[in-house]
Structures are given as C-alpha cells and as structure tokens.
Structure 1
Amino acid sequence: MHNTILDNELEELKSEILRMGALIEKSVCQAIVSLIEDDVDLAQQVIAGDDEIDGLTIDVQNKCLRLLAQHRPQAIDLRGIQADMQTATDLEGMGDCAEKMAKSTLRLHGRRTIEDLSLLSQIGFNVKGLVTSATNSYSASDVAKAKDSMHMEGEINGLNKKYFNILVDTIREDPNKADMAVQLLYATHCLERIAGHAANIGEAVIYMVTGEWTSLND
C-alpha cells in the first residue's frame, strides 16, 4: 500500500516549487524588461524579490531532506524528490542571475551609450520562453516539453555568440561605448546561465519520469 501521507507531502512540495517557478518567470521577465527599457523601478523590484526566492529554496530543500529521512521513499518517489531538489536549486540560480541583470540596469542608468538593443531583446524573449517551457515540463512531468529545452537552449547559445562578437567589436571601435557594452556582455552571460538552469530542470524532469539522466547538451 502506497504511503498516502507521503503522497500528500509530495504534492505540497510540488506546489511550493511551482510557486517558486512563477516567481522566477516574473523576475526573469522583469529583469530583461528593466535592462532594455532602462526601468529602474522594475530593477529594484527584482532585487527586492530575491530574498523571498532564497527563502523558498531553503524551505524546499529542508522539506526534501525531511521526506528522505522520515519516509524512506520507493524508487519513483525518491527520483521525484531528487528532481524537486534539483529544480529548486536551478530556480534559485535563475533568480540570482535575474538579480544580477537588474543590478546592471541600475549601473547603466544615466550612462547609456548604446541604443540598439534588438538582439538582446530577442535573446531575452527566447530565454523567457525557455524558462516557461522548463517550468511547464516540471508541472506536467512532460518529457517531450523537457526535451524541447535542448533546441531552445541551442538557439539561445547561437544568438549569444553572435551578440558577444558584436559587443566586442563595439568596444574595439568606440571606447565611449565600452562601459555599456561590458554591462551588456555581463547581462548576456546571465541570460546564458538562466538558459542553462532551465535545461537542467528539463534533465531533472526526464530523470524523474524515466529514471535516466539525459544531458540535453549532448
């Protein structure tokens, strides 16, 4: 007979992680918009909200450890708890990256020298889509959605390389734009890390459902 108490606690744990996921989707979106539109108020909201995300992460990790200790779960539940811990850790990582991007917005306020942010906007749009796909794959335990992350992350990495070269050329050709270009390089790296964390969640979902770790970067 399956442990009904464990089932209920696993559902509560999943609900808390999904709450984290919703906060992260909002935070990532706000960080991207703040940087592109020079919205200082939005950037400050992202920074202020990071403490709540950190607190939820600690709570989720503690609950996972308690479930492991108290219930000695069967294989499929054990995989689920491991995937929950991985997902929470990667969501926190996304939140940290969003906070760093928001701080770039603050650093650049009043000192902007590059107007064309269309490629950054495209990268940001793709990253938002990837984060949504990853959280949806976790919510539905959907392997197909998890595997979609592979293609989406690859496309983002390609755009990042293109933008990296553009920004390096900008620094070389116009020293007056160097400060902003450096901050944009930093922000692009943060977007790349967010995409990597989202792909990790996809890997965790595949493991949870199939019992196999599959690297989406292979």
Structure 2
Amino acid sequence: MEKTAVRDASAHQESQSQPNLIIGLGWYVVFACAVSGITVLIADFVVPNHDWISDTISDLGAGKYEFIVDIGIYTLSSAFIATALLAAHIHLGGWRWSLGLVGLALLGLVIFLIGARNEYGDNDSDGVVIHIYLVYALGLMMAAVPALMAKGAKRVGVAYSRILVGISILWIVSAPIFLFLPTKIDGIYERYLALIAFALILTLARLFIGYARGHVLERR
C-alpha cells in the first residue's frame, strides 16, 4: 500500500512538470525575440525615407510594408504569452508570482493590440484611438512584473532575482523619459526600451530552461 502511494506521488510529480515542454517554450521565447528584432532591422532598410534614430518602431507599422513589423510585434506578443505559460507551469510560489504571470499574459495581449489596432504612424483618428492607453498600460506592467517575480526567481538563483529587480529599476528610470524626448531621437530611444522588454522575458526563459535541465538531471 505504501509503495503504491509512493509510486502514485512520483507519477503525479512527473505529470506536473514536463522538462521538454519547458525547454521548448523557453527556446521559443529566445527565437521570438530574435525574430522581432530582425523584422525591425529589415523594416529599417526596406521602408523608404525612414530614419531609425528619429522615427519610432510604430512608424514602421503603417503603410505598404507594415506587415514586416507586424510579424515581429505578433511574435513578441506570443513570446510574452509563452513566458506566462512557463511561469504558470513552474509556479515559484506566492501571490506576487501569480500577479507577475498574469501581468506577462496581459503584456502579450497589449502588444498584440498595439499591432492589431494599427493606430500608429498613420495619423489615424477614426473611432476611439486607444494606442496611448495601451502604451501607458505596457509601461506600468513592465515596471511591475519583474519586481513582482523577483522573489520567486530567487528560489532558482539569486542572480535571476537581482537581474529582475535591475530590469524593473532600469525601466522605471528610463521609460518616462521617452514621453519628453524630442522627436529627433525618440526612435532610437524606443529601441533601447524594447531591449529592456527583451531582457525581461529572456531572463525568465533562461531561468526556466535551467530549471528544466536541472530537473532532468535529478531524474537521472
């Protein structure tokens, strides 16, 4: 009876954590960040009369070649959702972690809506323009999510916790500046902020991949 209970508990634990799934999703996040960055670089060269220093990524999302950046935006959106799935699958405890993973999913949705609404770069004024509200929501969640998840990340490694806190602080200091920048340089600054967003999900992806690999080694 006792041996049966042990076997059942072991099987239950294995069913709760699938290392191959975790590693696969983690590497997808890395791939998605690469795709998102590459599409912006491609659009920088393809879109005529575009200045990557003064023109924002949003400016690339309108016109004949909008599909290039849209691919990157939707891919990045899916990366945030994939990271949220990872955080739910490997829940590192506490209400802060729970709020953080919900925030990741909402960030994915907000990024998707920014791409889907197509209200940037084309002076769209038809209907209710929500782009600015989406940007504010993104800004607030980018500040909160890494800070919320730092404590849970510490269970895997202190370095992850410190990096997440650093990302939160860097975002809080950097993001508001964008709203006051002259249009001559806001394009390059927006790309800098995008790199901070990449750093958030890439850090978490590395955390989960490392966790999954450690779990595989324990089984052996």
If the length of structure 2 is used for normalisation, what is the TM-score?
A: 0.37
What TM-score do you get using the length of structure 1 for normalisation? 0.38
